[in-house]
Chain A
Amino acid sequence: MPTLSLMPPEFRVARDDNKCIKCLACVRQCGFDAQQYDAEDDRLYAIDANCVNCQRCVSICPAGALTIYKNPPPMRPNAHWTEGHLRNIVKQAETGGVLLTGMGNDQPFPTYFDRLLLNASQVTNPSIDPLREPMELRTYLGSRVEPVTLEECRDKTRTPLVPIETPIMFSAMSYGSISHEAFASLARAAKAFGTLFNTGEGGLPEDLYEYADHAVVQVASGRFGVHAGYLNAGRVIEIKIGQGAKPGIGGHLPGEKITAPVAETRMIPEGTDALSPAPHHDIYSIEDLKQLIFTLKEATRYQKPVSVKISAVHNVAAIASGIARAGADIIAIDGFRGGTGAAPTMIRDHVGIPIELAIAAVDQRLREEGIRNRVSLVAAGGFRSSADVVKAIALGADAVYIATAALIALGCHLCQKCYTGKCSWGIATQDPYRSRRLNPEIGAERLYNLLRGWSHEIKEMLGGMGINSIESLRGNRLHLRGVGLNEVELKLLGVKHAGEAM
Chain B
Amino acid sequence: MKKVYARPAYCMNCHLCEVNCIVAHSRSRDLFRAYKRENLRGTARVIVEERLPLSVAVQCRHCDDPRCVAGCISGAMVKDPETGIVYCQEDKCVGCWTCVAGCPYGAIRPGEKNGRPVPLKCDLCREADEPACVAGCPNRALVFEERRAGA
Contact = CB atoms under 8 A, between A and B. Distances in A.
Contacts, number: 55
Contacts of B14: 25, 28-29, 60
A441 interface: yes
Majority DSSP secondary structure for residues of B touching A: loop
15 contacts: A19-B32, A22-B35, A23-B16, A23-B19, A25-B19, A29-B14, A62-B19, A62-B31, A433-B53, A436-B10, A436-B11, A438-B139, A439-B139, A439-B140, A442-B140
Contacts of B18: 23
A28 B41 contact: no
Contacts of B12: 29, 426, 436-437
Majority DSSP secondary structure for residues of A touching B: loop
Contacts of B20: 62
A22 to B, nearest CB: 7
Interface in B5-25: 9-16, 18-20
Contacts of A29: 12, 14
Interface of B: 9-16, 18-20, 31-32, 35-36, 41, 52-53, 138-141
A441 B140 CA distance: 9
A25 B14 CA distance: 5
Nearest to A60: B14
Interface in A101-131: none
A470 to B, nearest CB: 35
A60 B138 contact: yes
A492 interface: no
Interface residues of A, number: 21
A473 B32 CA distance: 55
Contacts of A60: 14, 16, 138
A433 B19 contact: no
A260 interface: no
A134 interface: no
Contacts of A437: 12, 139
A89 interface: no
A432 B53 contact: yes
Nearest to B136: A62
A24 B138 contact: no
User: Which 7 A-B residue pairings sit nearest by Cβ, starting from the closest?
Assistant: A433-B53, A21-B35, A437-B12, A432-B53, A439-B10, A25-B14, A439-B139
Nearest to A19: B32
Nearest to A24: B15
B41 A63 contact: no
Interface in A1-60: 19, 21-25, 28-29, 60
A431 interface: yes
A28 B139 contact: no
Contact of B13 (A21, A22, A433): A433
